[in-house]
Structure 1
Amino acid sequence: MDELRRRQYLKALGLDLWLSRDTPDPLAVAEAPPAPVGVRRAVSEVREARLATPAPEPAPEAPPATAPPIEVPQDWTRARALVADCRRCRLCETRTQTVFGVGVEAASLMVIGEGPGAEEDARGEPFVGRAGRLLDEMLKSIEHSRGTDSYIANVVKCRPPNNRDPQPDEAEACRPYLEAQLKLVKPKLILAVGRVAAQRLLQTDTPLSRLRGQLHHWGPDRTPLWITYHPAYLLRSPREKAKAWADLKFVSRFLGEAAS
């Protein structure tokens, strides 16, 4: 390497300090005395930086936007209007329509699921697919139905994409609407169907297997809350229907005693 090219190369590496002829060439380590440790490290670091371009680090995932607080609606008309035009979370971007709830507005039993599926999103009514038909049969077994002393709603009022679980921030955005429904219905018993509904209502990550079989309470009025499997899960795991039947028998006994 001639002198001019050597100088250009060293300058490109940012090693202008070693352009003097009196200073050992840091690139000619085989022919010159060893450079000081600091110089060798500098040369090595510059070479590595030029020869190896590190992969760009992925941008940190943006935290979910927090929906601004709103007052819990105090009447059915206001609650329905707010839900119908809701833009409080990302689910509004993929829904066909909101799914408010259905049933008797002063029911003794309120059934709460996790969120609408494809058929619910299309029709605007909760639990209308295969899981909905099974839920109807479950209620019928204890002499209840959508039109006779039951009210049915979901934790979130819009369908999550691909039927995924609602995210915590989505459930939190919808919480005022669910609170309004619970306070307006004033059920004697809440029946949470499935893990997501149970965990969101109780604000816990405890597994469903540990939540079932004991009476919980919701809200400042401590409304009794019972937990069973989601009908969609029972369709996939029919052997668990016996446990669900035991849960339903408790619901029936509890409501019978509450009525008397």
Structure 2
Amino acid sequence: MSPVSEQQRRYLDAMGIDVWVRRDLVLPESESQAESVVAEVPEPATPVQAPDEGLPDVSELDWEALRQRVASCQLCELHQGRTRTVFGVGNEQARWLIIGEAPGVDEDRQGEPFVGRAGKLLNAMLQAVGLSREQVYIANILKCRPPNNRDPRPEEAACCFPYLRRQIELIQPDLIIAVGRIAAQRLLDCNTPLNRLRGSVHHLESTGTPVIVTYHPAYLLRSPADKRKAWEDLLFAHSLTTGE
């Protein structure tokens, strides 16, 4: 990527990063040692329900049919407390697919992923690498909000996974950005800590799509010291899709 522009600097300021350092798209030695590549030796994954076991087949659905199926879904108990399902939003031919964990209270109310403060930070993160929210596609592991924003349960993620997999098949993105530990571990079917998943190119087993792991914007709002690491992850992702 070329040296930071004034516009990028404004977006970096919005992220809370006041000084831009390229670092040649490589993590510092101390970080790279601590966050080494794990794709070659994956840790055992926690067994979960097989994604399609006892679930309806959605592999042939187009966008509209899939959206309707999600809107009427009652496969797990989460449908009982939802206001709206959160299907996903963005460019259906996007090169980048952003996948988070689950809807929060704002997302449940509006029916759109990554709104509120976390959504604004995600927008700034994307804009800093020259992308708008409208250019990417944004989705979650879960389509319904868990009560009190608790972590998704394995059976809930299993029920929703065919929907997400079909979205991936329809979009055929060049790259998936998994934001947050739960999204990363569910996509990669592992128990590896997020810090060890960062800085490496992983691949989605079902499609072979490259996956880059970074922090969730909500976490960055609580831990602003890690915003620079998230910026390094985005530079890494940008280099994979542009060669810069």
> Same fold by TM-score, threshold 0.5 exceeded?
yes
**Correspondence 1:180 to 2:169:** no
**Displacement of 1:221:** 2.7
Q: Report the TM-score when normalising by structure 1.
A: 0.72
**Displacement of 1:219:** 2.9
**Displacement of 1:71:** 1.2
Distance of 1:232 and 1:221 partners within structure 2: 28
| Structure-1 residue corresponding to 2:149 | 163
Preserved contact between residue 89 and residue 138 of structure 2 (Cα < 8 Å): yes
Gaps (5+ residues) in structure 2? 1-48
**Correspondence 1:84 to 2:71:** yes
Preserved contact between residue 111 and residue 192 of structure 1 (Cα < 8 Å): yes
| Structure-2 residue corresponding to 1:250 | 236
Measured against aligned partners, the alpha-carbon deviations of 1:65-118 in whole angstroms (never above 9, x if no partner) come to x97222134310111011000001111011101000000001000000000000
Preserved contact between residue 72 and residue 179 of structure 1 (Cα < 8 Å): no
Distance of 2:195 and 2:231 partners within structure 1: 15
| Structure-2 residue corresponding to 1:144 | 131
| Structure-2 residue corresponding to 1:199 | 185
Distance of 1:72 and 1:208 partners within structure 2: 30
Distance of 1:212 and 1:72 partners within structure 2: 31
**Displacement of 1:252:** 1.2
Counterpart amino acid of residue 124 in structure 1: G
Structure possessing the higher radius of gyration over alpha carbons: 1
Instruction: Please give the secondary structure, in 2, of the residue aligned with 1:220.
Output: coil
Counterpart amino acid of residue 191 in structure 1: I
| Structure-2 residue corresponding to 1:124 | 111
Distance of 1:178 and 1:134 partners within structure 2: 23
Distance of 1:219 and 1:82 partners within structure 2: 24
Distance of 1:213 and 1:104 partners within structure 2: 26
Q: Report the TM-score when normalising by structure 2.
A: 0.76
Select the structure with the greater relative contact order (CA < 8 A; seq sep ≥ 6): 2
Let me know the Cα RMSD of the aligned residues: 1.6
Distance of 1:220 and 1:126 partners within structure 2: 24
Distance of 1:145 and 1:195 partners within structure 2: 24
Preserved contact between residue 227 and residue 247 of structure 1 (Cα < 8 Å): yes
Instruction: Please give the secondary structure, in 2, of the residue aligned with 1:147.
Output: helix
Counterpart amino acid of residue 201 in structure 1: L
Counterpart amino acid of residue 171 in structure 2: V
Distance of 1:80 and 1:146 partners within structure 2: 20
Counterpart amino acid of residue 91 in structure 1: L
Preserved contact between residue 86 and residue 112 of structure 2 (Cα < 8 Å): yes
Preserved contact between residue 199 and residue 236 of structure 2 (Cα < 8 Å): no
Q: Structure 1 vs Structure 2: percent identity of aligned residues?
A: 55
- The runs of at least 4 aligned residues of structure 1 exceeding 4 Å deviation read none
Distance of 1:90 and 1:202 partners within structure 2: 25
